[in-house]
Each structure stands twice: as structure tokens, then as C-alpha cells.
Amino acid sequence: MKIIKAKDYADMSRKAADLIAAQILIKPDCVLGLATGSTPIGAYEELVRRNAAGELDFSQVTSINLDEYRGLSPENDQSYRYFMNDHLFNHVNIDKKNTFVPNGLEPDAQKACSDYDEIIRTRGPIDLQLLGLGHNGHIGFNEPADCFSKGTNCVNLTHSTIDANKRFFASEAEVPTQAYTMGCAGIMSARKILLIVSGLSKAEIVREVICGPVTPAVPASLLQLHPDVTLIADAEALSVFEA
């Protein structure tokens, strides 16, 4: 794993945007695996700026997002489809037909997951997968478990994830309790992975992800086995490594 230390959130976002932009420049019709959460927002803002400045062309890019809340429609402003439209797709020249997010409105979980695996199979492989990190080590919505998940799966969100994500909803009761997420093996099949982490509250879990054992109790620890992972983390997130 290559580790790049950024000064702060803005620096992390710029460095992440540099890598994503480089991927698009070297392969204009690349497949990007994209993530939601507060961490990638700054990188998306930077990509929007570069697209508006004419430095970056999304016209041939395909995107495949990691996850979606089960039960939320694309129009719900807390859905991950809405998030992606709002933070990136509405502001760049990507063809929305080439942007994919699991279908949160599909009630049949098995169908929602197999449909998404089919999209990943036919539109993939993912050239560059962007990941954030949950406080409990989750990637996508793959929560700590007894074994690593393989394909897209329907997960019951842990209390800590619901707690962490309730800030985006009017009340905790509105946070969905389930989500569809690309599986750990699916994430690992990306050619390159870019993990971005910011803030003191992630410092301890970053240490476990990098230095701890590879265990499904910390899903992101699996990234230790991927041949091409870059971690861009700000100084606070890497603070446990300070002398």
C-alpha cells in the first residue's frame, strides 16, 4: 500500500482529484468506482472545477457506485443517487446513462444484488475504485462480519453506522437500516484502489487497517492484499504514526 500524507482535508481532496483526473486523462473511457460520504465531497468539487475549466472530460467515463440505502428513491435527498447527482454528475459532462448506483427501490434484495453484479460484470472491470472509510472499518457498506462478502449484498447496518450517518437525516428514525453494497471481493477486483481518509476520529481505525491483521472484523484490512492501493490521508488521520 502506498501511503500519501496530506496536510489537511483540502490537500487530501486535491491529491485525490489529481489521481482521479490522471486516470481519466490516460484512459478517457475508464470505469470509475465512486463513493459517497462526507470524505469525497472536496475531491468531487475539485473535479467539477477542472471540468468547468476545460481540463477534464467526463464524456466517455462510466461510473459504478459502491452502495445505496435500501428503500430510498433516487429523488430522496439522502439517497446516494441523489448525492452523486448533486455533488458530481449534474455538474460535469458525464453521460448519466453511464452512471450506476444500486437500485434502492428494488424490494427483492436478491434481484437488486444480482442486477448490480451483472452491471459490474458487463461494464467493468473498474479501473480506479475510490473508497472512504467507516469508523468501524467498513468499505462501501460492508460492515464488520465473520467473513468477507463476495458479490453485491444486502446488509443490515450496524448501530455505529446508523449513528454516524444520522447527521444527514432529520432524525435517527429516518436512517434506513439496510443497504445494498458492492461486496468486498467486488471492490478488490478493481485494478487500482484509492482510499481517502480525513480527521482525528479515523486515526485509530486507519492504524488497524494498515497495520492490523487482515480480518473481516475490519473489512478495509482486506486492502492489504490488493496489489495497487493508494491511501491518501490527512495529518490528523495519520496522527497515531507521529513520533
| Residues labelled as active-site residues | 67, 136, 138, 143
Which one, 24 or 130, has the nearer CB to ligand GLP? Answer: 130
What is the longest distance spanned by two Cα atoms in the chain? Answer: 51
Which one, 48 or 187, has the nearer CB to ligand GLP? Answer: 187
51, 63, 149, 165: which one binds ligand GLP (CB under 6 A): 165
- Stretch binding ligand GLP (CB under 6 A), from 36-44, 182-190, 214-222, 234-242: 36-44
- Stretch binding ligand GLP (CB under 6 A), from 17-25, 32-40, 91-99, 116-124: 32-40
Contact track, ligand GLP, 120-159, x by CB under 6 A? ------------xxx-----xx------------------
Rule CB under 6 A: which of 69-98 touch ligand GLP?
none
CA proximity to 177, closest of 169, 188, 189, 185: 169
Asked whether 43 and 17 are in contact (CB, 8 A), the reply is: yes
Applying CB under 6 A, the residues found at the interface with ligand GLP are 35-39, 66-67, 132-134, 140-141, 161, 165
